[in-house]
C-alpha cells in the first residue's frame, strides 16, 4: 500500500480533474461509496470461485460479529448503493466513482494491495449503444491524456444459457486433457471452468488455444448485440480486436466484455476493463435491470503518463510574507487574512516559526513565490509593506497597505 507524496499528488490531482471533466462530458454523475461492505456482497456479486473472493480480500469480523471486507472493486458496492437508495426505479442512470480498492495480491510493479480505480457504470440500458458509449468514453480519455500504445480488445460471453452450453463443451475438452491442467485449473474445472481461459499460466497456452471457442456457442441474442456493438464502433471509427479468449476475472459479466491493453507496462498490461452485467442487479435483490460498466487502474494510468512526460508540479505560492520581529510577527496573520479576503485565488504563504530577515528571505526564495512581502516593526507602525519582486527585474517598493491588493493583483493574479 503506497503513500501518495506531495511530489506526486499533483499528477493525481490533474488526472482526477481530467476524469471528472470527461465524465461530465458524457452525462455521468459522481457517486461516493464506502470502502467497507459486508463480505457477503462480494461473494454474491464477484463470485465465490474467483481469485478476488478466494484469496485476495481483506476480510475481518467486526465487534458485532459481522464479516466485513475492504472493497476489492467498485461495481458491487455501486449496485448495492443504488438499490438501497432507490436510484434505479423506472429510470436510467449513468454514474462514476473513484477510490481505493484493496486486494491481497503479490505486490509488484503495477500491482498493489491498495490501488485506485476510476469506474463508470450505466444502468437501465439494454442495447449495445451504451456499451459503445462506455468504450468511446474510455478511448477519449487516452486522447485527452495523450496516452498512446493502448489497444482495445472486445469479446462476447453470451447470455447465461449460451455460457452453460459452452461450459459443457469446455469441460468435456479440458477433462479429456486433465493431465495437462495445473492445480488451479483442476480445481476450477467443475466449479468455474470459464475462468481457466483467463489463466495466466503460459504452460496452459497451447491447451487453451485448442479449446472450443465461445464464439461458436453464442446465442442469437448475444450475436446480434455483439454485431450491433461492432457496427457502432466501426461507424465511430474506433479500432478494436476481437479476442475470443477474453473472459475477465469476475463472474458477473455476460455478453460484452472489453479491455484496453498495452505492452508498455510489463506483465500488468490491462489498464482498463469492463463489460455488461445484466443479471447482477437482480442477483443482489433488485428488479432485473440491464447494466454495463468498466474500471480503470489509476496507478497503471499514471505509470503510462509518467513515461517521458515532465512531472506535474504543485503550484507555488504567489506571495511569501516575511515578518521580522515580535510586532511584525503579531501583525502578519491579520495582514495575510485581509489579503486573502481581498484577492480570492491568491496563494499566500506566511512565514511561521520566526527567524531573522536572511533566513526568512531564503525560505521565501525557496518557496518559488513571485513576490516577497516584507513586514518589520517600522512598516507596521507606518501602515506600509515592503514588496520585493523575486523573479522580475524590478526595484523593491514600499506600498501603503491600502494599495497592496491592487498591486499584487496586477503582478501575480
Ligand atoms: P489483472 O488481470 O491485472 O489482475 P483484474 O482483471 O483483476 O486485472 P479488474 O478487477 O478488472 O482487474 O480491475 C480493473 C483494473 O484495475 C485493471 O485493469 C487494472 O488496471 C486495475 N487493477 C486491478 N488490480 C490491481 C492491483 N492489484 N493493483 C493496481 N491496479 C489494479
Ligand atoms: Mg486481478
| Secondary structure, 3-state, 282-331 | HHCCCCCCCEEEEEEEHHHHHHHHHCCCCCCCCCCCCEEEEECCHHHHHH
Q: Is the C-beta atom of 270 inside 6 A of ligand 1?
A: yes
Say whether pLDDT at 94 is over 90.
Answer: yes
Residues 403 and 335 in one domain: yes
pLDDT in tens, 29-40: 999 999 999 999
Position 160 confidence tier, pLDDT thresholds 50, 70, 90: confident
pLDDT in tens, 377-394: 999 999 999 999 999 999
Instruction: Say how many Å lie between the first and final Cα of the chain, rounded.
Output: 39
pLDDT on residue 369: 97
Closest atom, ligand 1, to C-alpha of 200 = 2
Residues 357 and 399 in one domain: yes
pLDDT on residue 247: 82
pLDDT on residue 252: 82
pLDDT in tens, 136-155: 999 999 999 999 999 999 99
Say whether pLDDT at 49 is over 80.
Answer: no
Residues 233 and 368 in one domain: no
User: How far, in Å, is the centroid of ligand 1 from the Cα of 224?
Assistant: 29
pLDDT on residue 387: 98
pLDDT on residue 397: 96
Decide which of 306, 330, 362 is a domain's last residue.
306
Give domain status of residue 231, yes or no. yes
Say whether pLDDT at 279 is over 70.
Answer: yes
pLDDT on residue 311: 79
> Mean of the pLDDT values across residues 23-52?
94
Distance (Å, whole) CA 180 – CA 263: 28
Give domain status of residue 73, yes or no. yes
With H, G, I as helix, E, B as strand and everything else as coil, classify residue 99: strand
Q: Is the C-beta atom of 299 inside 6 A of ligand 1?
A: yes
pLDDT on residue 51: 85
Decide which of 266, 283, 306 is a domain's last residue.
306
| CATH code of the domain in which 18 resides | 3.30.930.10
Q: Is the C-beta atom of 254 inside 6 A of ligand 1?
A: no
pLDDT on residue 8: 92
Residues 133 and 32 in one domain: yes
Closest atom, ligand 1, to C-alpha of 270 = 18
pLDDT on residue 205: 87
Give domain status of residue 259, yes or no. yes
Residues 261 and 382 in one domain: no
User: How far, in Å, is the centroid of ligand 2 from the Cα of 242?
Assistant: 21
Closest atom, ligand 1, to C-alpha of 248 = 6
- The ligand whose atoms approach the alpha carbon of 112 most closely is 1
pLDDT on residue 310: 76
Q: Residue 256: phi, psi to the nearest 5?
A: -65, 130
Q: Which of 42, 268, 303 to mutate to test the pocket of ligand 1 (most atoms within 8 A of CB)?
A: 268
Closest atom, ligand 1, to C-alpha of 271 = 20
Residues 155 and 61 in one domain: yes
Closest atom, ligand 1, to C-alpha of 274 = 11
Position 164 confidence tier, pLDDT thresholds 50, 70, 90: confident
Residues 41 and 90 in one domain: yes
Decide which of 259, 277, 306 is a domain's last residue.
306
* Apex 130 CA angle, 125 and 131, nearest 5: 120
Position 201 confidence tier, pLDDT thresholds 50, 70, 90: confident
Helix %, strand %, coil % for the chain, to 5?
45, 20, 35
> Mean of the pLDDT values across residues 201-228?
92
User: How far, in Å, is the centroid of ligand 1 from the Cα of 294?
Assistant: 11
pLDDT on residue 181: 93
Residues 298 and 324 in one domain: no
pLDDT in tens, 317-339: 999 999 999 999 999 999 999 99
Give domain status of residue 111, yes or no. yes
Q: For CA atoms 295, 300, 305, 311, give the dihedral sign.
A: positive
pLDDT on residue 307: 80
Q: Is the C-beta atom of 105 inside 6 A of ligand 1?
A: yes
Give domain status of residue 205, yes or no. no
Residues 302 and 344 in one domain: no
Q: Which residue, judged by its Cα, is nearest atom 8 of ligand 1? A: 270
Residues 143 and 264 in one domain: yes
> Mean of the pLDDT values across residues 345-359?
97
| CATH code of the domain in which 406 resides | 3.40.50.800
Q: Which residue, judged by its Cα, is nearest atom 23 of ligand 1? A: 297
Closest atom, ligand 1, to C-alpha of 259 = 18
Residues 382 and 327 in one domain: yes
> Mean of the pLDDT values across residues 182-192?
88
Query: Of the given ranges (89-98, 228-237, 288-297, 311-320), which has the lowest mean pLDDT?
Result: 311-320
Q: In the block, which residue shows the cell 495445473?
A: 182
Distance (Å, whole) CA 140 – CA 138: 5
Count how many domains the chain has: 2
Position 249 confidence tier, pLDDT thresholds 50, 70, 90: low
Cβ burial of 121 (10 Å; 0-12, 13-18, 19+) is: buried
Average confidence score pLDDT of the chain: 94
Q: Find residue 321's DSSP bridge partners.
A: 350, 373
Say whether pLDDT at 268 is over 90.
Answer: no
Give domain status of residue 323, yes or no. yes
Residues 260 and 341 in one domain: no
Which residues constitute the domain of residue 337? 319-412
pLDDT on residue 86: 96
Q: Which of 54, 117, 121, 152 to mutate to test the pocket of ligand 1 (most atoms within 8 A of CB)?
A: 117
Give domain status of residue 379, yes or no. yes
pLDDT on residue 317: 97
Position 16 confidence tier, pLDDT thresholds 50, 70, 90: very high
Q: Is the C-beta atom of 75 inside 6 A of ligand 1?
A: no
Q: Which residue, judged by its Cα, is nearest atom 19 of ligand 1? A: 297
- The ligand whose atoms approach the alpha carbon of 111 most closely is 1
Give domain status of residue 34, yes or no. yes
Amino acid at each position: 500500500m503506497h503513500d501518495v507524496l506531495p511530489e506526486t499528488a499533483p499528477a493525481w490531482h490533474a488526472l482526477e480533474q481530467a476524469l471528472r471533466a470527461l465524465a461530465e462530458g458524457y452525462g455521468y454523475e459522481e457517486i461516493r461509496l464506502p470502502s467497507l461492505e459486508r463480505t457477503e456482497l462480494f461473494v454474491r456479486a464477484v463470485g465465490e470461485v474467483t481469485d478476488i473472493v478466494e484469496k485476495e480480500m481483506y476480510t475481518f469480523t467486526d465487534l458485532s460479529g459481522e464479516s466485513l471486507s475492504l472493497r476489492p472493486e467498485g461495481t458491487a458496492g455501486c449496485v448495492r448503493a443504488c438499490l438501497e437508495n432507490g436510484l434505479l426505479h423506472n429510470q436510467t442512470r449513468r454514474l462514476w466513482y473513484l477510490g481505493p480498492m484493496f486486494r491481497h495480491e503479490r505486490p509488484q510493479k503495477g500491482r498493489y494491495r491498495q490501488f485506485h480505480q476510476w469506474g463508470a457504470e450505466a444502468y437501465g440500458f439494454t442495447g449495445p449503444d451504451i456499451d459503445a458509449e462506455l468504450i468511446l468514453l474510455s478511448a477519449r480519455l487516452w486522447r485527452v491524456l495523450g496516452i498512446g500504445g493502448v489497444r482495445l480488445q472486445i469479446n462476447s460471453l453470451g447470455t447465461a444459457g449460451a455460457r452453460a452450453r459452452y461450459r459443457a463443451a469446455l469441460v468435456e475438452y479440458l477433462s479429456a486433457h486433465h493431465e495437462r491442467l495445473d492445480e488451479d485449473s483442476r480445481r476450477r474445472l467443475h466449479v468455474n471452468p470459464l475462468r481457466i481461459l483467463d489463466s495466466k499460466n503460459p504452460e496452459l497456452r497451447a491447451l487453451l488455444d485448442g479449446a472450443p471457442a465461445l464464439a461458436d456457442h453464442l446465442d442469437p441474442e448475444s450475436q446480434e448485440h455483439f454485431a450491433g456493438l461492432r457496427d457502432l464502433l466501426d461507424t465511430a471509427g474506433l479500432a478494436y480486436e476481437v479476442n475470443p479468449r477474453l473472459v475477465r476475472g469476475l463472474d458477473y459479466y455476460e455478453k460484452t466484455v472489453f479491455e484496453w491493453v498495452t505492452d508498455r507496462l510489463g506483465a500488468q498490461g490491462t489498464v482498463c476493463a469492463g463489460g455488461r452485467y445484466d443479471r447482477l442487479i437482480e442477483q443482489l435483490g433488485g428488479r432485473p435491470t440491464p447494466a454495463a460498466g468498466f474500471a480503470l487502474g489509476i496507478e497503471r494510468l499514471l505509470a503510462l503518463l509518467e513515461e517521458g512526460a515532465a512531472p506535474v508540479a504543485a503550484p507555488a505560492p504567489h506571495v511569501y510574507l516575511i515578518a521580522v520581529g515580535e510586532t511584525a510577527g503579531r501583525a502578519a496573520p491579520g495582514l495575510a487574512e485581509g489579503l486573502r479576503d481581498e484577492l480570492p485565488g491568491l496563494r499566500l504563504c506566511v512565514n511561521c516559526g520566526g527567524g531573522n530577515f536572511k533566513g526568512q528571505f531564503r525560505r521565501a526564495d525557496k518557496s518559488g513565490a513571485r513576490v516577497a512581502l516584507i513586514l518589520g516593526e517600522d512598516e507596521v507602525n507606518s501602515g506600509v509593506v515592503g514588496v520585493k519582486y523575486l523573479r522580475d527585474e524590478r526595484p523593491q517598493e514600499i506600498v501603503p497597505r491600502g494599495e497592496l491588493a491592487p498591486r499584487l493583483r496586477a503582478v501575480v493574479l
